[in-house]
Structure 1
Amino acid sequence: MSNQAAWIDGKAQKLRVASADLPKPGPDDVVIKNHAVAINPVDWKIQDYGVFVQSWPTILGEDIAGEVYELGANVSKFKKGDRVVAHQLSLVTGKPEDGGFQLYARAAAVFTAKIPDSLSYTQASVLPLALDTAGHGLYDSREKGFIGLDYPSLTPKPSGKTILVWGGSSSVGALAIQLATASGAKVISVASKHNLDFLKSLGAVEALDYNTPSIVDDAVTAIKSAGGDFAGIYDAISTEASYKFVLPIAEKLGGTHVAVTLPAPKELPSGVTAANVFAVNKDVNGRLWEEYVTPALEQGKLKAVPEAFVVGKGLEYVQKGFDTNKAGVSAKKVVVEL
């Protein structure tokens, strides 16, 4: 069996499709034959800026869906041929075999979950990184500055908590809305006007247009109207474009916890704390993969969103995927089929 990968040789280098070693699983790993891979902004940012990579050449890619090809000695929850989705960890391990953009990839079993037959590999591939990014911000402890919700349930009961998700139509925002709703929280979410119905379909009790001039006051009013204990803000955008609204909202509410996916401003309003999300966190997110993802997908409680936008079939299209993602997509996730 031969393997091929979309290699990256260094900063500002285009991807190069070439042969790669067939990965061997460690004791707690699985090897997956990929059928679909999704592209994230971090991929083209690494290509443009050369950040995060420990050594070149390497294989990027965080989101994969495919079938189990080989099992590590300690892995008992999967069998060969299982349809799965996985979060790939090459940015953490520094090892190319752990990257997603190849025909066969090594995955940590703890960040792998079975998917139902009703869900295509293409659509499933949009989930992993967004799930883990959303999960860390929502479920890590309030003592560390995170939102600290209870873990999601297939039969959630109202928790009496309310949160705001800024950027709800993004991959991370769409998962944050679903997870927080499954944790019993009321979710107010903000996106562009044409995506507001999408936010409500995911569970948001109120969906607001960020282009409205009064958005800060509108969000504060919606949060107060929802009632309960305001637990914090998940900023799925985390750039100056969102901070200029999110931080005034937090300040007007008397201070709160803000989970951010990129570095927060050094100067924060009084009473506002910002905690940086790190998507690879087994202690926080392992439980999501172990207990929630598979049954929630099977029962339709967790939707694989946003919609996959397929740019081609074959590793040679991964570069096109980078370019498409960089150009901008709304309420869609760029996917390459294999």
Structure 2
Amino acid sequence: MSERKPAPPGRGRAANIFDVARLAGVSHQTVSRVINDLPNVRPSTRARVEQAIAQLHYSPSPAARALVTKRTRTIGLVTPGISDYGPTSIAMHFNFAARAARYAVESVSTPPADPKSFRAVVDGLLRQRVDALVLVVVDVEVLELVRNLDLSIPVVIAASTARRSPGIVSIDQYRGARAAVRHLSEIGHTRILHVAGPRNATDATERVRGWRDELAEHRLEIVPPVFGDWSAASGYRLGTELDIEPGAAVFVGNDQMSIGLFSALRERRLRVPEDVSVVGFDDIPEAGYLFPPLTTIRQEFDTLGGLIMQKVLIAVEESNPPTEDTPLPTHLILRQSTRPVDD
């Protein structure tokens, strides 16, 4: 007498875990262990279950997985509600790294300088039972808030700060700024102005600090910086107001403001680099195609995104607390917007 096979799921109904169990001849608990890659399942049994899953085109729901593993394989990502190159690049490359690790990302944006809104967004993600939080922080006050969060899940913060801690990952804005100023000093500039980002921005704070310290080391005059808002429009406005003469140099807080500065200097009949050397920060894709091509500081956002995900995986899957990292290095990219003073 031949063995009777279980009936397939009815037409229009998706297979469930019990259908898989009947077809494989095991309990639904065993199917669950195979689905969630848990130990203590014989290889032959695992093979039968996997064959049944394939035959029935069974796809376990995230909710079912979460009940067994107590994990949703979802990470909450909070980003500032701005389109600036740095934060958007961090978010993009983190999403790539999370997808490669088979994690979903629940992304929420919040006003960049509003601690109350930031906290409300974090609370909302916690209610969704995410496995970890990644916070991209660009404001000094918001950074102080997130430093003091006491949560039951791992938190990784992407932010620029002089105060290092295990939960924070960053790119070294301070040393990047020093490299920019050092380059300008080495090619003979003694008056190096700074067009900075917003006063409350974490990146701008570190870049101002690096600019100031490098000038002090070379015993050069420190002219108070002027502050923009990262936009080309603010770079243009500040460029029309700068007290600048031929032979000077400008370290600009980002490439977008450098674009506006170029336009303002051109209107003032100051040539770059013949009269004024300019160094930007970020190395946006357009930087090499400006006229002249922009000397700038490159940040490796793809590496940062991978590092953030690595910290998340260690905390979630290995239950190990994050360790303190050295900020990732930047790279000086030499192009035609700077040249030696004596040329």
- State TM-score, norm by structure 2: 0.34
Task: Say which structure is richer in helix.
Answer: 2
Q: Max radius of gyration: which structure?
A: 2
- State TM-score, norm by structure 1: 0.35
